[in-house]
Structure 1
Amino acid sequence: MVQMDSVWMCAVPVATIWTSPESIRELDESGITNPMSMNRWIAAMTLEERFALCKENSIQSQLIYGEPVIVKEIQNGWAKVIAVWQRSVKNRFGYPGWVPVQQLKEAEPVGESNGVIRVDVSKCQLWNLDQTPTSIVLPFNTILPKVETTEEWVTVKTPDGKRLIRKQDVCEGSSIHHFEKYPASKAAERAVEFLDLPYFWGGMSSYGYDCSGLTYNMFKACGHFISRDASDQANEGIAIPIDSPDTWERGDLLFFADESTGKISHVGFYYGNGQMIHATSSKKGAIELRVLAETHYAKKLSAVRRYDKGAGSL
């Protein structure tokens, strides 16, 4: 075991943060490699095997390419990490868990900054400097340091060195907290772009979201960082009366509690006209837009929260 406190970066399109190294099943081997393919891993699982990741508490969250983590220790090829961009009550510095070391690279000093880019499409190709494609397809919301911009290309710094991304696929900001900011209603509208995307427990990428991964990432796409988990999100923003649905607005978050424990177990966006858009693990196992009253979630509604510039959480 090697003890350390250093900054590393995710070096694959999506790296899963596991509860422990012992959480891995035989069928998960393709999810811990480098290179890795989320499509191949998801395709190898039945719906029940995907849901088992939740039931067995195997997965905590995910990282996407270039996302920084603090590595606390390395043990038998696994790194104990804290995902510093994912706010959580589990650790004051970010979301904790375990990631295979081969899916990480030690971060190098960024040097003089020209700002950052964020991938603003569902997925996009990462290119070599000679404009030939790399093997990496970047998921939505990937953030990387910017080197320079031309009419067609943006040169970025990646865990693998300087690379290119088509300018049309990204938006630019001066820092991760200084992209253009949009209201919560826009976050709900962005979620529509991912209808039918498979539900994936712990999912934080455009290969598959879980319920709070969807809300977190749609707010991230609108320039705001909220907490990672639904239970934490339910303590942020402004409380809106749950018995006055005529006061709800598009972009409000709807929280649902387990009937036996009272603990928050699900979150979705209110979309207006009595509708909710959410990533559901029930039946369909995908992101869907539904009339709330027609779902089994309706009777579990426990809180409505509004996230706007006055909420103190964005």
Structure 2
Amino acid sequence: MKSLLQKESTAWVCSVPVATVWTAPEKVRPIDTDNIMENPNINKWLQEMSREENKDLTDSNRIQTQLLYGEPVLIDEVVNGWAKIIAIWQPCQKEERGYPGWVPMSQLKEVEALTELGYARVTQNKAQLWTEDFKPLKAVSFNTLLPVKELGDFVRLHTPDGDAIIMADAVEIVAAYNRGLQANGLDIAKLGAEFLDLPYLWAGMSSYGFDCSGLTYNLMKANGISISRDAVDQALEGTEINQYDPDSWHIGDLLFFAYEEGKGKLHHVGVYYGDGLMLHSPTPGKAVEIIELAGTKHETELCAVRRFTEKQYRD
């Protein structure tokens, strides 16, 4: 095995498979207890929420985004066991340093930071991490990125729980958190289809559930393309494509939608799937799906089409 370890200082990182970033600590409800524990149970939290409680995450602006295991943050302050953080891997207009919000301090850990030669990015829906003596450690989400220490049939990783092992076929090695093997639009669309029927989750950023821009952010990230976290920011990035000329759209382009027949506030984003189709994560109570644009409200609400791939695949 080839060693990739070079030591640096320390960093604060997410220490749980998925940590939810809250708008404020007081936004937490009794139903959210399983989410904010030191060892959160995301499945139980999602299963026990009613449709109305799920929708309330959106309506009451309770949560902002999510962090994946090992994702670094800046901590601005700690108040009553809650950390006011910046998610530095998630660009947005709200804060120039990254995405702001609040996370239970128990879900963060200070670790030795590495100047590593690469990250292992989880390519499976979920992947098992093992201790060095091959006992199960944690199941982590798609797109989790962890610094590599040694390469081989089993990849040794630097994690908040110390050194851990993952199967080589569960990950790809990338040079940096915001770099990877850049794919074409067809690769983006095909990857998105792997999440069909995954329930929508407001602020969702993991394979437990995505919101609309969480899905597009993660599909691009998995294909070596770095974009902002929110749809309103994503719509200003990439290359502008003529929204009135569907023949110029390529599979993998992002389609953006606004209220008032495209003239109002931007509220949604999806992936062009070719042949007049869109893949998207629609709204609370629904799941990732492929739809035909014609005859839907999306047809009249389209406000922008943006391209992020250099390699083109035309429908």
| TM-score normalised per structure 1 | 0.93
Q: Deviations over 1:258-280 (max 9, x none)?
A: 22871110000010000000001
- One-letter amino acid of the structure 2 residue matched with residue 117 of structure 1: A
Give, as a single letter, the amino acid of the residue that structure 1 aligns with 2:17: P
Within the alignment, does 1:263 sit opposite 2:258 as a pair?
A: no
Match of residue 96 from structure 2: 92
Correspondence for 2:152:
150
User: How far off its partner does 1:174 sit?
Assistant: 2.5
RMSD: 1.7
CA distance in 2, matches of 1:236, 1:178: 17
Contact 1:33 1:102 in 2 (8 A): yes
1:82 is displaced (CA, Å) by: 0.4
Q: Secondary structure at the match of 1:235?
A: coil
**Aligned-partner Cα distance in 2 for 1:174–1:304:** 29
Structure 2 counterparts to residues 1-314 of structure 1, below 5 A: 7-110=11-114, 113-134=116-137, 136-151=138-153, 153-259=154-260, 262-281=264-283, 285-309=286-310
In the TM superposition, residue 237 of structure 1 has moved relative to its aligned partner by 1.2
Bigger CA drift: 34-43 or 87-96? 34-43
Contact 1:47 1:285 in 2 (8 A): no
Deviation at 1:79, TM superposition (A): 0.3
Distance in structure 1 (CA, Å) of the matches to 2:117 and 2:91: 26
Structure 1 CA distance for aligned equivalents of residues 105 and 29 of structure 2? 18
- 1:112-154 per-position Cα deviation (integer Å, ceiling 9, x unaligned): 52421000010011111111112x2100000001111222x11
Shift of 1:109: 2.7
C-alpha displacement at 1:181, in angstroms?
Answer: 1.3
Deviations 1:5-28 (A, max 9, x none): x84100001000100001101100
Give the whole-Å Cα distance in 2 for the aligned partners of 1:174 and 1:216.
19
Give distance in 2, aligned partners of 1:43 and 1:124.
21
> Match of 1:215, as an amino acid?
T
Q: Distance in 2 between matches of 1:158 and 1:130?
A: 15
| TM-aligned CA distance change 1:294 to 1:196, over 3 Å | farther
CA distance in 1, matches of 2:122, 2:163: 16
Q: Check whether the contact 2:65–2:204 (CA below 8 A) recurs between aligned residues.
A: yes
Amino acid at match of 1:182: A
**Corresponding residue SS for 1:186:** helix
Question: Match of 2:131, as an amino acid?
Answer: N
Measured in 1, the distance between the counterparts of 2:193 and 2:36 equals: 30
Q: How far apart are 1:156 and its partner, in Å?
A: 0.2
**Per-residue deviation, 1:309:** 3.4
CA distance in 2, matches of 1:256, 1:177: 26
C-alpha contact (below 8 Å) 1:114/1:148 kept by paired residues? no
Q: Number of residue pairs matched? A: 302
Contact 2:24 2:101 in 1 (8 A): yes
Mapped contact 2:156–2:163 kept (Cα < 8 A):
yes
- Residue 260 of structure 2 aligns to a residue whose secondary structure is coil
Letter of the structure 2 residue corresponding to residue 30 of structure 1: D
Give the SS at the match of 1:29.
Answer: helix
- Measure how far apart 1:107 and its partner are: 2.8
Q: Percent identity?
A: 48
Deviation at 1:80, TM superposition (A): 0.3
User: Match of 1:3?
Assistant: none
Q: Describe the SS at the equivalent of 1:109.
A: strand
Q: Do 1:255 and 1:268's aligned partners in 2 also have CA atoms closer than 8 Å?
A: yes
Q: Is the 8 A contact 1:140 1:206 kept in 2?
A: yes
Gaps of 5+ in 2: 1-9
Structure 1: state its 5+ residue gaps: 1-5
TM-score, length-scaled by structure 2: 0.92
Check the 8 A contact 2:179/2:225 in 1, yes or no: no
Q: Distance in 2 between matches of 1:184 and 1:88?
A: 23
Q: SS of 2:177's equivalent?
A: coil
